[in-house]
Chain A
Amino acid sequence: MKKFLIELLLVMATGYALGLVLPWWAIVVAGAFSALLAGGRGMRDLFAGLLGGFLLWFLYSLFLWKSTDSNLPYRMADIFPGQLSPVMLTLITGLIGGLAAGFSCWTAGQLRILILGKKK
C-alpha cells in the first residue's frame, strides 16, 4: 500500500514539475517515469497512474477556476457538446489526465518488469 502511494505521489509530483516546462504530455512522461522508478507491479501501475493523473489534473483545474472565480469554465462547458457543468469539465479534465498517465505508467511498468523482473 505504501509503495502504491509512493508511486501515486510520484506521478503527481513529477506531473506537476514537468507540466510547468513541458507541453500537456508531461503527464505521460510523468507516468512513465514514475513506473520506471517505483513501479513494476502490474495493474497497480495502471491504477497509480490513473489516480495520480486524475488527481493532479482535476485538482489543478479546480484550483484555477475557483481561485480566479472566472466565468470561463461556464462558457467552455457551453461550447463542449452535451449539457456540461464546470464541475463536470474538471472531472473530464481529470479523466483525460488519468487515462494518459495511467496507460503510460502501466506500459512503463511492464517494461520495468521485463528488464528487472517482477517486484513483490
Chain B
Amino acid sequence: MRVVAIILLLGITGALVYVLNTRLGSTPAMGPLISPFEGFWQNCEAEAIQFPPNVSIPGLQAPAEVWYDERRVPHVFAQNDHDLYFLQGYVTARDRLFQMEMSTYQAAGRLSEVVGVKALSTDRLFRRLGLAYGAENSMRLAQTDNKTMQVLDAYTEGVNAWIASLSDAEIPVEYKMLGFRPEPWTAMKCILLSKLMAHTLTGKTDDLGHSNVYNTFGPYIYNSLFPDFPDSLEPIIPSGTPYEFEPLRLDTPAAYTPVPVVGKLTYPDVHPNNGSNNWAVSGKLTRSGFPLLCNDPHLELKLPSIWYEVQLSAPDHNVYGVSLPGTPSIIIGFNDDIAWGVTNASRDVLDWYHLELDPTGKKYKYNDEWVETFDRVEEIKVKDSLTVYDTVRYSRHGPIVYDDHFHPGGQAIHLAMRWSAHDGSNELMALYKLNRAHNHAEYRDAIRHFECPGQNFVFACKDGDIAITQQGNFPAKWPKQGHFILDGNNPLHEWQAQIPFEQNPHTKNPAQGFVYSANQIAADTAYPYYLDGEYEHFRNRRIAWLLSHHAPFDTASIRNVQLDVFQLAVTDILPVAMTMLHKDQLSENHRSVLALLDSTYQRAPLARGASEQPVISALWWQELYHILILDDLTGNKIYDLPGSYQVAQLIRSKPDFTLFDDRSTPGVDSLPDLVTRAFKSAADTFLVWKQKHPDESYTWSKLKSFNLPHLAGASLRGFEGRKQENAARWNVDELNVEGTPSCVNAIGKQHGPSWRMIVELGPEPQGWGVYPGGASGNPGSFYYDMMYDDWAAGRYFKLHRYKPGVKDASVKSVQSFTPRS
C-alpha cells in the first residue's frame, strides 16, 4: 500500500516539477521565473550603485577605471584603444544586452529563432532586403584595416567577457520572460547593427507608391503632388552659395512609364518621421563668444533608449556623447576641441528595378541580354518549428526582393532593390577619427569615410569654426531618377556614378553666423546634381527664423530653440482655411469650437500639451486631408501620400485641383465647401469627446496619448516607461507632452527627440543633455526610465566629461579593472 502511495506521490511531485520547469505556449516556466534565487526577483536593483569596486578581467591589457555619475552614466578611462573599446563593450553589455541582441537578431532576420513563427514574415523580408548581405560586404572591407578590426574585436571581447560572467540569476529579466539566453557576440553583429541604422534612416521607400500615383493619375497630378523643390525652402547650404566644380556628366535615358504595382506589397515599417534637428551658432551670435552646437535626433521612442551615454577617455582623446548599443565609438558628442552632431540627409539611396525573367526564372534581361542570377539560400530557424529555407535571387542591381514566390497580395512581379547599404563601407573609421578630431580639417578627413546612412554632419570648434556637410555615398542621378520603379534592362537607369566627396554639399563659417539642418533639401537649384529625396518643410524654416532673430544665445536661451512648439504647419494653412470657411453654415456648437481658435492662436499656434487649441486645428487638418487626398489614394494599390506642406501649397495655389473633389458626393465641390465640411466633422469629433469626458479638457497631450513602450512591445506591457514615484503605478496622463513632429520640439505619439544635446565650446566645453529613458536597460533598475518626465518637461542634465584622475562630488561610484592573466 505504501508503495502505491509513494508511486502516486512521485507522480504528483514529478508532474509538479515538470509543469513548473516547462514553458507552456508563451507562458514562461514558472519555477525559474518566480524563484527568488534565479527568477525576476534577482533583477531588482537598488538605487545605490552596487558594482563591484575591483574587477579582474582576462583580456584587458592594462589597468583601467570606470566611474559612474549621479545618473549612472559610465565614464571609461583606459590606457590604450583595445581596453577602451573592450570596456565600452563590457559596460554596454552589462546595461543593454537584451537590446543589443534583439537589434542584431532583427537585422539578421533571426527573430523567429527566439520568438517563433509569428516573426517569420518579418525575418523573410529582412533577409530579402539584404542587410546581412551588406554587412558581409562591410565586414570584408573592415578586415582590410587593422585599426577597424582591433576596435571591433576589442568591443566584441568586452561584450563576451560580460556575457561569460553572467549567472542564471543575473540574466536580464526579458530573457527570463521570453525563454532564451544570450549567445556570444561577434564583430559581425556590430556591423549588422550599423546596417540596421541604415535601414532606419534610408530604408523608407516611396518609389512603388509614386509609380502607382503616376500610373493611376497621370503626370500633371503626380507633379502637383510631388514637385521638385523651389528655392524658397531654406536649404541647408545657404541659397546663393556658388558651386565651383565640374560635375560628373550623366547619360540621361529617354522618357519612360514606370510599371504599376498592384496589391499591397508588405515592406518593413520605417517610421516616416525619422529625422532630426542640428545646428551650430558661431561665437558672433553667442554671449560667450564661443560656438554653441545642438543636436536632437528624432526616432521611435522605446525602452531601453536607442542611445547610451558614455565617456571614452584614452591618452590621445577624451570624448563624451551617445553611442549605439552594439557598436563601438561615440556617434554624437564632444571632446576637448570640437563638438558634432548628425541629422538624416534624407537622400534617396534605395531604388527599385523591374526585371524580366526568363521561363526558368534563373536569368534576367540586362542590356537586352540574358544574365544569370546568383542565389543566396537564407536559412531561417524557427523556434518550436521546422527551419525555413528561402532562396533569394540576386541580380547586378541587388536582391530580387519581390518575385513569384514572395509577393504577398497582387500580381507576380520581379523587383530588384539597389540600396547603398548593400555596399561595403566603414562608418566606424569615420567615427573613430571624429571622436579624436581637433579641428575642421580633421573633421572633414574623418567624415569622408561615412557612406551609409548619409547624414548632415554639423561641426563646431573651440577656435570658432562652424561647418556642416551632407556626407554619404550618394549616386549622381538624372532628373527624377529614383522617383519611380526603374527599368532593370536599361543600363542608363543604373546609378552611373558616385558623387565625389568634395562635391557633396558643405559650408564653413557662412555669413549668416550659423549652420543648421532639419532634414530639408541640401541646396538650391544651383547645385548641379539632382537631389532626389524626401525632405522637411517646417522645422528647418522655424529653426532658421529663430537663429536669425533671437541672437545672442547662451546655453539657457538656446534650449528654447530645441523646445520650440510653434506650428508653422498651422500658420501655413489656417489663415486661408479661415477665409474659405462658410461660418454662416456653422451651428452654435460648431461656432463655440471655432472660437477656441482665437486670434492669439492664429498668430502663434503653439502645440502646448495642456491646450485644446492644437487638437482642433489638428482634427480639422486631418479631416481636410482625408477629404482632399486620402479618399482618392486608397484601394488595392500602395500610393505614396503627398506631404502636408505640398497639400497646403496646392490649396493656396490651385484651389480647383481636380483631385480635391470629394468623390462620394455628386457634382464638384468647391474648396470652401470641403474646408467647411472638414471643420464640421472635426468639431463634431471634438464635441463628442467632450461629451464623453464631461470634466476634462481635450488637451493636445491627451490626443497624442504619448507612451514609451518596451522594445518587446505589448508582450511585456509592464515594462513601459513609468517613474519611480512612490513605487506605485505612475499615471501617464499626468505627463504633459508638447510639440508635434513638424515642430522643432518634434514629439509625436511614440516618436521624437531620442536625445537632446547642447554643447558650448570653449577652453572647457560644457554639455547638457537628456533623453526619455536611462542608462540601465533593466526594468528593475531605478535608472531604467529615470529621465522620462524630465525629458517631457524640457529639463536638461549637466553632462560630465571628467578629466582623467579628477573626480568631483558627482562621481558616485568607481570600478577598477585589472588584467587577469
Interface residues of A, Cβ cutoff 8 Å to B: 19-20, 23-28, 57, 60-61, 64-65, 67-79, 89, 92-93, 96-97, 99-100, 103-104, 106-107, 110-111, 113-114
Contacts and interface: CB of A to CB of B under 8 A. Distances in A.
B9 interface: yes
A92 B31 CA distance: 11
A116 to B, nearest CB: 12
Contacts, number: 128
A78 B36 contact: no
Contacts of A77: 718
Contact of B9 (A25, A26, A89, A103): A103
A76 B40 CA distance: 8
A78 B727 CA distance: 13
Give the residue among A20, A24, A65, A107 with the most B Cβ atoms within 10 A: A24
Nearest to B10: A107
B724 interface: yes
B36 A70 contact: no
Nearest to A24: B35
Contacts of B748: none
Give the residue among B6, B47, B782 with the most A Cβ atoms within 10 A: B6
Nearest to B12: A103
B717 interface: yes
A92 B40 CA distance: 13
A19 B38 CA distance: 8
Interface string B720-731: 001010011100
Nearest to A26: B37
Contacts of B2: 110, 113-114
Contacts of B177: 79
Given A72-B173, A78-B718, A97 B35 contact: yes
Contact of A64 (B10, B13, B41): B41
Interface in B197-229: none
B560 to A, nearest CB: 33
A57 B44 contact: no
Given A64-B41, A110-B6, A111-B6, A70 B728 contact: no
Contact of B17 (A60, A64, A71, A100): A100
A64 B44 contact: yes
Interface in B1-29: 2-3, 5-6, 9-10, 12-13, 16-17, 20-21
16 contacts: A24-B32, A60-B37, A65-B44, A70-B44, A70-B781, A71-B779, A72-B43, A72-B44, A76-B40, A78-B729, A79-B717, A93-B35, A93-B36, A103-B9, A107-B13, A114-B2
A65 B34 contact: no
B31 A96 contact: yes
Contact of A23 (B34, B168, B724): B168
Contacts of A113: 2
A110 B6 CA distance: 6
A107 B41 CA distance: 29
Nearest to A104: B13
Nearest to A93: B34
Contacts of A97: 35-36
A29 B177 CA distance: 25
B453 interface: no
Interface in B170-214: 173, 177
Nearest to B173: A72
A102 B16 CA distance: 11
Nearest to A70: B44
A99 B16 contact: yes
A75 B718 contact: yes
A68 B782 CA distance: 9
Contacts of B42: 64
Contacts of B716: 79
B134 interface: no
A94 to B, nearest CB: 9
Pairs A-B, 10 closest by C-beta atoms: A72-B780, A70-B44, A24-B35, A78-B718, A75-B718, A79-B718, A19-B37, A107-B9, A60-B36, A68-B46
A25 B727 CA distance: 31
B773 interface: no
Nearest to A32: B13
Given A72-B173, A100-B20, A103-B16, A61 B36 contact: yes
B30 A96 contact: yes
Contact of B3 (A69, A92, A96, A114): A114
Contacts of A65: 41, 44
B45 interface: yes
Given A24-B32, A57-B35, A96-B30, A71 B727 contact: yes
A20 B727 CA distance: 28
A99 B472 CA distance: 62
Contact of B45 (A28, A57, A68, A111): A68
A65 B784 CA distance: 16
A93 B44 CA distance: 15
B666 to A, nearest CB: 53
Nearest to A99: B16
B167 to A, nearest CB: 10
A78 B732 CA distance: 15
A27 B147 CA distance: 51
Contacts of B328: none
Contact of B36 (A64, A71, A107): A64
Nearest to A61: B36
Given A79-B717, A79-B719, 13 more contacts: A19-B35, A23-B32, A25-B21, A69-B47, A70-B45, A71-B724, A71-B727, A71-B782, A73-B44, A92-B34, A97-B36, A104-B13, A106-B9
Contacts of B728: 74
